[in-house]
Structure 1
Amino acid sequence: MAGQASFTAQVDAWVRETEERMDAVFRESASEVIEEMQRPVGAGGNMPVDTGFLRSSLQVGVNTEPVAAAMPNPGAGAKFTYAASMAIAGAEIGDTIVASYSAKYAPIIEYGGGKRQPRRFVALAAAQWPSIVARVAERLKSSVTGP
């Protein structure tokens, strides 16, 4: 029976490690998609940055509803702070990570409107999810030692 208990303990440990690795790939991939959403046009991304208000209006939650795009731009430069990693840190497989912008004009920048062409900074980043997951999984897999 001792051999059976040892085998069971090994399987349990392997399952825990696998779940932890899956969660790590999920969290890291979500972070990278959000980084891509936030990448300014000047740095090769799709988000136009003038005052920084749109970029700083990013809100990230886990298993929450998106924030309303209702905040008017104060007109002054906004300081960008990246708090998304704190929200993502506790996410697990099965959770929904929600990244949305509270800037009133965020939908116009994303989808276009009037004379403004759509930038699609959210949709283009989200479309990269499969390739980002594959890249993150490979990177994390190569950094793991052991079985």
Structure 2
Amino acid sequence: MAPTTGIHVSPNNRLSRGQARFSGQIDEWVLATEQRLTAVMRESARRTIEVMQTPVSEGGNMPIDTGFLRASLTVVINGKPPQALRVSDGQKHMYNASAIVLEIAKFNAGDRLVAGYTANYALHVEYGARGREGRGFTRLAAQQWSQIVRDVTAEAKARVAARAAR
């Protein structure tokens, strides 16, 4: 069976897509406490997945026909990436972001998070096949990891500073 396509966030704050690795921009402030690190990692993972799942019609790279590919997203904490086994039944499918957010809430500093697609054609849509150009929806989201981590870190620092100023 072909493996799924998706992203992996490892305990050392690196996001990988296949063989590529993208270092996060975690600074000393975030590393000072496990609570900060966990919060930044959870939110960064959530936002990266959000980018991955953004439909073409909304400026993203996720093509939507029946919604099956988008709805096949699975998040696994400290487990193996899901295998791409599911075949579309041709019916309309809805993506449930709440289920993904609930799974990400279990992600802690030191854990490994894998977000992957179980639709059997996910790799073809990602990389292209049969003369069709790939959409690169996971690769393009992964390339934004460092910036997402920097943004989330800056927002967390601002919230802490605002609370301290009260």
Q: What do residues 26-56 of structure 1 show as CA deviations (whole Å, max 9, x unaligned)? A: 0000000000000000111001001100000
Deviation at 1:79, TM superposition (A): 1.7
Identity, % of aligned pairs? 46
Alpha carbon RMSD of aligned pairs, Å?
Answer: 1.8
Deviation at 1:116, TM superposition (A): 1.3
Q: What do residues 91-121 of structure 1 show as CA deviations (whole Å, max 9, x unaligned)? A: 1122111000010110000011111101110
Residue type of the alignment partner of 1:19: E
Residue type of the alignment partner of 1:107: L
1:146 aligns with 2:164: yes
Equivalent in the alignment of 1:34: 49
1:60 aligns with 2:78: no
Q: What is the TM-score of this pair, normalised by structure 1?
A: 0.85
Mark the runs of 5 or more structure 2 residues left unpaired by the alignment: 1-31
Q: What is the TM-score of this pair, normalised by structure 2?
A: 0.76
Q: Which runs of 4+ in 1 moved over 4 A?
A: none
1:78 aligns with 2:93: yes
1:69 aligns with 2:84: yes
Residue type of the alignment partner of 1:119: R
Deviation at 1:18, TM superposition (A): 2.2
Question: Residue 146 of structure 1 aligns to a residue in which SS?
Answer: helix
Higher share in strand: 2
Supply the distance in 1 between the matched residues of 2:111 and 2:142 (Cα, whole angstroms).
16
Number of residue-to-residue matches in the alignment: 133
Equivalent in the alignment of 1:91: 107
Question: Residue 64 of structure 1 aligns to a residue in which SS?
Answer: coil
Residue type of the alignment partner of 2:57: G
Residue type of the alignment partner of 2:60: G
Supply the distance in 2 between the matched residues of 1:23 and 1:116 (Cα, whole angstroms).
39
Which piece of structure 1 moves more, 130-139 or 77-86?
77-86
Q: Which has the greater radius of gyration?
A: 1
Residue type of the alignment partner of 2:39: A
Q: Which has the higher contact order (CA 8 A, sep 6+)?
A: 2
Supply the distance in 2 between the matched residues of 1:116 and 1:94 (Cα, whole angstroms).
39
Supply the distance in 1 between the matched residues of 2:33 and 2:101 (Cα, whole angstroms).
22
Question: Residue 98 of structure 1 aligns to a residue in which SS?
Answer: strand
